[in-house]
Structure 1
Amino acid sequence: MLPAAPQLTDKGQAEVQGTTFLNGRWEGAATYSPLKHVLVRAGGGFKNDSGDTTYFRGRQYEVGLGGYYPLGQHWLVSGLGGFGQAVSRRGYVQPQFFIGEPYNVDFNTRYNKYFGELALSYHNPWGTIGTAVRTSHVRFTSLLYNDQPLARLRMTRLDPMLFMRFGTEQGVLHWLNVQISGGITGVPLGTYTVDNNDPHEFEYRRLREAQVFTALSLVFYPHRLAQPKP
């Protein structure tokens, strides 16, 4: 899921975020500060695809606990750690150049994940710019390739992200921000071994593929509705 990078600075504040990705995936999450410097978060995501030979479908959720610390009036550092679960299915046609016929590829997975992330942002009255990085340790409870089980059931992924939030703290829509995010998700070098003698090494390389992501989010601050309009 998209790294959180919440922009909460005091007890009782909350944000609700809805996100869409260029590939048609959707996410929603809520973050709340029940105590000063403490964060709790819950989120979920899904992607539906009705294609027969080329598709990417999935559902997931996660919960997290963390904290934040303002650095002066403009800087904010935050961190979260937590747990999530997902089911995902990806299929496509693998071409064979010059030799052989194309064939279908199907990955069907269920997995648990443990994640941690850090974020740093700079804020002014008109918006926020920042960066975040998330690392996720994935443990597959089921990993099938064309209905055949694969043996390697663990993977670590790293997700660095840059983001910008636009929105003023004054005016009619002071409770709403728009966020643009971009980054990459991939498996860090050194966290896996390549075994060219493994008959499924080709499939494992597909699981480790790096992907660029771009996302658009609406961020709602419910606590600002109870505040007098600036």
Structure 2
Amino acid sequence: MLLSPKYPVAFLALTLGLGSCSVYAPMLPATPQLRDKGQAEVQATSFLNGRWEGAATYSPLKYTLVRAAGGFKTDNQDTTYFRVRQYEVGLGGYYPIGGHWLVSGLGGYGQARSNRGYFQPQFFVGESYLVDFKANYHRYFGEVSASYYNSWLSTGIAYRLSKVRFNSLTYNGQPLPLSGMTRIEPMLFIRVGGGQGRMRWLQVQSSIGITGVPNSDLDPNSTDPYEFEYSRLRESRPFLALSLIFYPHELLKPKQ
């Protein structure tokens, strides 16, 4: 079959982009590479599944960060689709260590509206049927990151903890009584570019991570009639993203 591991490219694309049924959409953890007052970065991100995000981070005071980000995905499909619009704001700080290490942390708040649909197969027992989840939720998040950098490369890790609270949640038009969930979101990243040349204001970042809920497997002993739907909402999902990062403060520096 096309989706078996014998076809690694197609299998990877499905796994990273389309393989989950969760209505939750993670936002890319911030990994700011700012090291002084007055520095800023603007980030444009594309995920493998067609989601887009934009973010801006600024250091108004030494060791201080403020950040705002937003994202969306549109989908015109009728049977298998994922649509989302969301934003978040955050406040935190950073601290350079030596000449090549940087640690940072942020906490904040965000809101989202999302809609996911897919066909649920019924092998040997009936016809497949359309599943439709709609969610309106907010979240509180905290994250930390650590990175190594030199004049042309930054690489490191980030870890985000998101406390999700559903304002409304429906399954095929019927309300679900799930109030929320806690998701863990580790990520690895690498940035290249910058340096001291003419393009010092631009870097490219590649990121890979996962969003998941601890102990999210279906409980076969549960008597909750919505346990199957809950397990789908709590599913883990890898993500892969490519970003362009612009440094406006570099454009204001005099030419070398």
Fold conserved between structures, TM > 0.5: yes
Question: Which string of whole-angstrom CA distances, capped at 9 and with x for unpartnered residues, describes residues 126-161 of structure 1?
Answer: 211110010100000000000101111111111100
Correspondence for 2:60 among 9, 24, 34 = 34
CA distance in 1, matches of 2:117, 2:109: 26
Structure 1 residue runs of 4+, over 3 Å off? 191-195
How far residue 227 of structure 1 moved from its aligned partner, in angstroms, is: 1.1
Alignment of 1:56-205 (within 5 A): 56-189=82-215, 194=219, 196-205=222-231
The amino acid of 2:78's aligned partner reads: D
Secondary structure in 2 matching 1:224: helix
Superposed displacement of residue 192, structure 1 = 9.7
Aligned residues: 229
Q: Name the one with the larger strand percent.
A: 1
Q: Secondary structure at the match of 1:120?
A: strand
- The separation in 1 between residues aligned to 2:80 and 2:223, in whole angstroms, is 29
Residue identity in the other structure for 2:242 = L
Which amino acid in the other structure matches residue 77 of structure 2?
Answer: G
CA distance in 1, matches of 2:148, 2:159: 16
Residue of structure 1 in register with 2:79 after alignment: 53
Q: Which amino acid counterpart does residue 80 of structure 2 have in structure 1?
A: T
CA distance in 2, matches of 1:229, 1:112: 44
Question: Is the CA contact (8 Å cut-off) linking 1:27 and 1:44 kept in structure 2?
Answer: yes
Q: Any conservation in 2 of the 1:134–1:160 contact (CA below 8 Å)? A: yes
Whole-angstrom distance in 1 between the partners of 2:144 and 2:206:
18
2:22 alignment partner in structure 1? none
- Map Cα deviations across residues 165-205 of structure 1 (whole Å, 9 max, x no partner): 0013121110000000001110123x899562111100000
Amino acid of the structure 2 residue aligned with 1:137: K
CA contact (8 A) 1:83 1:113 kept: yes
Letter in 1 for 2:175: P
- Distance in 2, Cα, partners of 1:88 & 1:161: 23
Q: Compute the RMSD of aligned alpha carbons.
A: 1.4
Preserved CA contact (<8 Å) 1:171 1:229: no
Identity among equivalent pairs (%): 67
Could you tell me the TM-score, scaled by structure 1's length? Answer: 0.97
